[in-house]
Amino acid sequence: MRQIELHPEDYLPAAPPQEIVQRYGIAIVGCGNIARNTHLPAYSKFGYRIVAACDVIEEKARTVAEEYDIPLWTTNLEAVIDRRDVDIVDLAVRPEHRLAAVEQLAPAGKHILSQKPLAPTLAEAERIVEICQEAGITLMINQQARWASYHTAMKVLIDRGLFGHLYSVLHVHRQYQDGTDSAWRTTPDFTIIDNGIHYVDLSRYFTGRTPRRVKTTTTRVPGQNAIDPMIYTILCEYEPADLMSTLHFNNIAPALHHSPYLWHIDGTDASASIARYGSLRDGRTELTISFKEDLDQRQVFHIQGGWFPDAWGGTMGEMQRALAAGVEPQASGRDNLNSIRITDAAVESSKTGQTVEIPPA
Ligand SMILES: NC(=O)c1ccc[n+]([C@@H]2O[C@H](COP(=O)([O-])OP(=O)(O)OC[C@H]3O[C@@H](n4cnc5c(N)ncnc54)[C@H](O)[C@@H]3O)[C@@H](O)[C@H]2O)c1
């Protein structure tokens, strides 16, 4: 049996060297749920330098500043802009508040790491990318799932060329986000454009390709709380047509842990699967690979680490490495428009029942 070497240092996210980490002061703008519970625990663990916390709600800014010993808290974005020690703004407001913030931050020369999805519409996302390009600042999108250990581990194997020609990607995910008190309930097409963009983006990360067209099916579940469907299957077609991907996400499944969170990646030489058992936060992960030359054998890796919160340390590390090297980061704003084009087309397809072309970049 062919034996593959795969070690935690090959896939666990790590902070850049200290001389880079110390170079960049970070301001958190939007100190809500995700910033407080995930960004800040990860940044603290990775040793990043947080110099300011800003939220329009004073208590939120003050609370995280006290919890994480951040020297400045403010309710005023101008105060962040005025600070010369702020190099990177971690923009964790909701999508509808991003354009106004970017219009202030980019001309002031602040680099931006924005939470996903970048904007409520493709047109607004394109406008944000344009503003950042004109200002000459770096815009990266926090598609942190790329730095979740089990996704990175799969990508490491793909990049080693073990699969031959990669021709199929299948994702199956079950979650439950249909609570009555959830803000997601009233977010239009939440499951595709807000949560689903993770899996759409991961399909691009694994394959290195953007589909040419998509066909999406959804259904409304009787008694659901959300304003839009909470389940989708997206079929992606590529050109040339030597690859297909199928993305299935049931976000209203009462059967949460009956089956693992799954990715199956198939190539002409090898197949591999990610199976995450339990929750995305606290589960355990097996990555299994088999080769065509020896179909009866498989090699199983027990992948260390996970998604929450360490992957956020990975995105910020990528941003800082890219700034230090003067290159475009992975998941840049420009690159991310391709993921948004897919979710946008998937929503249109789900509403019209038609196959929808992805507009070219
Ligand atoms: N896995 C993930 O990557 C993940 C998970 C959850 C949420 N998110 C994304 O993170 C974003 C925020 O989600 P959340 O659940 O933390 O929302 P939230 O409402 O809890 O937090 C947003 C915060 O921004 C503040 N705010 C609004 N406008 C502001 C402004 N102009 N300046 C400063 N602060 C402002 C609000 O007062 C609020 O505290 C959303 O885009 C969401 O999709 C991503």
pLDDT, tens digit, 9 for 90 and up, residues 332-356: 999 999 999 999 999 999 999 999 9
Most confident of 39-48, 252-261, 273-282: 39-48
User: 182 with 194: CB under 8 angstroms?
Assistant: no
User: 169 with 208: CB under 8 angstroms?
Assistant: no
Share of the chain above pLDDT 90, in %: 94
Classify domain 145-312+340-357 at the CATH superfamily level.
Dihydrodipicolinate Reductase; domain 2 (3.30.360.10)
Among 36, 37, 54, 55, say which to mutate for ligand 1: greatest number of ligand atoms within 8 Å of CB. 55
Per-residue model confidence as pLDDT tens digits over 213-271: 999 999 999 999 999 999 999 999 999 999 999 999 999 999 877 889 999 999 999 99
If you measure from the C-alpha of residue 139 to the centroid of ligand 1, how many angstroms do you get, rounded to a whole number?
17
Atom of ligand 1 nearest to the CA of 29: 33
Atom of ligand 1 nearest to the CA of 93: 24
- Residue owning the nearest CA to atom 38 of ligand 1: 32
Classify domain 12-143 at the CATH superfamily level.
NAD(P)-binding Rossmann-like Domain (3.40.50.720)
Question: Average per-residue pLDDT in the chain?
Answer: 97
| 285 closest CA partner among 271, 305, 266, 299 | 305
pTM, rounded to two decimals: 0.98
The side-by-side arrangement of strands in the sheet containing 299-303 is: 299-303, 284-291, 270-277, 261-267, 166-174, 244-250, 231-237, 213-218, 356-357
If you measure from the C-alpha of residue 97 to the centroid of ligand 1, how many angstroms do you get, rounded to a whole number?
9
C-alpha torsion angle, residues 264, 266, 272, 277 (rounded to 10): 0
pLDDT at 360: 79
C-alpha torsion angle, residues 15, 113, 278, 292 (rounded to 10): -80
User: 236 with 247: CB under 8 angstroms?
Assistant: yes
- Residue owning the nearest CA to atom 39 of ligand 1: 32
Among 86, 93, 175, say which to mutate for ligand 1: greatest number of ligand atoms within 8 Å of CB. 93
Q: How many angstroms separate the most distant Cα atoms in the chain?
A: 63
| 10 closest CA partner among 157, 210, 166 | 157
If you measure from the C-alpha of residue 187 to the centroid of ligand 1, how many angstroms do you get, rounded to a whole number?
13
Atom of ligand 1 nearest to the CA of 142: 3
The ligand 1 site (C-beta within 6 Å) comprises 29-35, 54-57, 60, 77, 92-95, 97, 101, 115-116, 142, 144, 194
If you measure from the C-alpha of residue 334 to the centroid of ligand 1, how many angstroms do you get, rounded to a whole number?
22
CA separation for the pair 314, 316 (Å, rounded):
6
Question: Which helix (H) or strand (E) segment is 34 a member of?
Answer: helix 33-34
Give all strands (DSSP E) within 202-269, no chain letters: 213-218, 231-237, 244-250, 261-267
CA separation for the pair 359, 361 (Å, rounded):
7
Interacting residues of 213 by C-beta distance below 8 A, sequence separation 6+: 236, 237, 345, 355, 356, 357, 358
Find residue 263's DSSP bridge partners: 171, 274
Task: Kindly list the domain boundaries of the chain, sorted by start residue.
Answer: 12-143, 145-312+340-357
